[in-house]
Structure 1
């Protein structure tokens, strides 16, 4: 004799599986994506002061991409060690970030990038700080977001 299941038991299990998948995807998204607020005018007119951008955390770069990188300390030296790959947003807020366009990748030094701001007259970029080591890259700008009042990780001082 075959047992009958309660109506909706199968659909309830499906909903639970879907919810688990959504929660897992949200956890991955949270560690791979971050919202950054642009500060300064070095990327104008592409990005303006106060714009918010969605950044995908990666170091796979190609020329033409806009990225967020850590700003070196005065003198071009790094005052901190690079962030670990899975670092949380709280660890990022203690650092100063820049938003720049990649113009060259993988030329000597091999693990570095050359960056320029779209507004060359008002940009602190590779012309001042030299090659930027790839481990100092936070990620690639995926798309702009509308300005918002809540705080996000600030990028760009100049």
Structure 2
């Protein structure tokens, strides 16, 4: 199943920018290096890159923008928090 999500915020800029749309394929098994959309209990829906996986099927995320919420602040995500993997980015028109 695919979802279309409009990006808000700058945490993945310049790779994915505020106002872009992403096509997300549903998965609960994120892969290292993939850009995913996940749900965080404090920050809500976020889009970040998977930077770490562990043997408990948890993952950590990081943004590309230096002002992004840090990996340490977000902590580990259970795999069920993953909405899906970004498979296509549609850049906003300028």
Q: Render the CA deviation track for 1:129-154: whole Å, top value 9, x for unaligned.
A: 21011101100000112438xxxxxx
1:115 is matched with: 61
Greater than 3 Å deviation, 4+ residue runs: none
2:29 is matched with: 60
TM-score (norm 1): 0.55
Q: How does 1:42-57 map to 2 (within 5 A)?
A: 42-57=11-26
Q: Does the aligned pair in 1 maintain the 2:19–2:91 contact within 8 Å?
A: no
SS of residue in 2 equivalent to 1:47:
coil
RMSD: 1.7
1:132 is matched with: 77
TM-score (norm 2): 0.89
Structure with the bigger percentage of strand: 2
* 1:61, distance to aligned residue in structure 2 (A): 1.7
Q: Quick check: which has more Rg, 1 or 2?
A: 1
- Consecutive unaligned residues of structure 1, counting only runs of 5 or more, are 1-31, 75-95, 149-158
Structure with the bigger percentage of helix: 1
- Consecutive unaligned residues of structure 2, counting only runs of 5 or more, are none
Q: Does the aligned pair in 1 maintain the 2:36–2:48 contact within 8 Å?
A: yes
Task: Give the aligned length.
Answer: 93
